[in-house]
Amino acid sequence: MDLQDFYFKLLLKTEPIIDDTTLRDGIQMPGLAAGPKDSAKIAQFLSEIGVERIELFHYQEPDKKAAKLIGDLHLNLRVAGWCRALKEDIDSAMACGFKEVGISHPVSDLHFKAKWPEKTKEQILANVVDVVEYAAKTCGLRTFVHGEDSTRADWNFEKRLINAVADAGAECYRICDTVGIGLSDLAAPLPNGVPAKVVAIKKETKIGAIEIHAHDDFGNAVENTMAAIRAASGVWDKVYASTTYLGIGERAGNAETEKVLLNLYLHYGIKKFEGKTQKLKQTADYIGKATGYVVPPNKAIVGDYGFAHESGIHTHGVLNDPWTYEPYPPELVGNTRRLTIGKQSGKGIIKHKITELAGNTPDDQTVAIVVERVKDMYANGRRASLKEEEFKKILRILKILPENNH
CATH number at residue 82: 3.20.20.70
Same domain, 235 and 312: no
Is 299 within a domain? no
E strands, 167-276, in order: 172-177, 209-214, 238-243
Cβ-based neighbour number of residue 56 at 10 Å:
25
Count of domains for the chain: 2
Same domain, 279 and 192: yes
- Domain end (from 236, 261, 291): 291
Is 402 within a domain? no
Burial classification of residue 115, based on how many CB atoms lie within 10 Å of its CB (0-12 exposed, 13-18 middle, 19 or more buried): exposed
Is 321 within a domain? yes
Count Cα atoms within 13 angstroms, Cβ side, for 270.
26
Question: Rounded CA gap, 183 and 151, in Å?
Answer: 9
Same domain, 267 and 200: yes
Tell me the Ramachandran region of residue 153: left when phi exceeds 0, alpha when psi lies from -120 to 50, beta otherwise. Answer: beta
In order of 150, 199, 357, the CA distances from 396 in angstroms are 63, 66, 11
Tell me the Ramachandran region of residue 255: left when phi exceeds 0, alpha when psi lies from -120 to 50, beta otherwise. Answer: beta
Is 37 within a domain? yes
- Domain end (from 232, 260, 291): 291
Is 248 within a domain? yes
Output the pTM of the full model.
0.94
Burial classification of residue 62, based on how many CB atoms lie within 10 Å of its CB (0-12 exposed, 13-18 middle, 19 or more buried): middle
Closest by Cα among 254, 107, 287 to 191: 107
Same domain, 243 and 156: yes
Range of the domain at 361: 308-397
Same domain, 73 and 177: yes
Same domain, 234 and 199: yes
Is 323 within a domain? yes
pLDDT in tens, the chain (406 residues): 899 999 999 999 999 999 999 999 999 999 999 999 999 999 999 999 999 999 999 999 999 999 999 999 999 999 999 999 999 999 999 999 999 999 999 999 999 999 999 999 999 999 999 999 999 999 999 999 999 999 999 999 999 999 999 999 999 999 999 999 999 999 999 999 999 999 999 999 999 999 999 999 999 999 999 999 999 999 999 999 999 999 999 999 999 999 999 999 999 999 999 999 999 999 999 999 999 999 999 999 999 999 999 887 888 899 889 999 999 999 999 999 998 898 888 888 899 989 989 899 999 999 999 999 999 999 988 998 898 899 999 999 988 888 776 6
Same domain, 270 and 340: no
Same domain, 265 and 314: no
Is 298 within a domain? no
Same domain, 98 and 60: yes
- Domain end (from 243, 261, 291): 291
Is 390 within a domain? yes
Residues 6+ positions from 178 with CB-CB distance below 8 Å: 148, 149, 150, 151, 152, 215
Count Cα atoms within 13 angstroms, Cβ side, for 284.
26
DSSP-assigned letter for residue 374: H
How long, in residues, is the chain?
Answer: 406
Same domain, 263 and 352: no
Same domain, 159 and 208: yes
Same domain, 27 and 103: yes
pLDDT of residue 232: 98
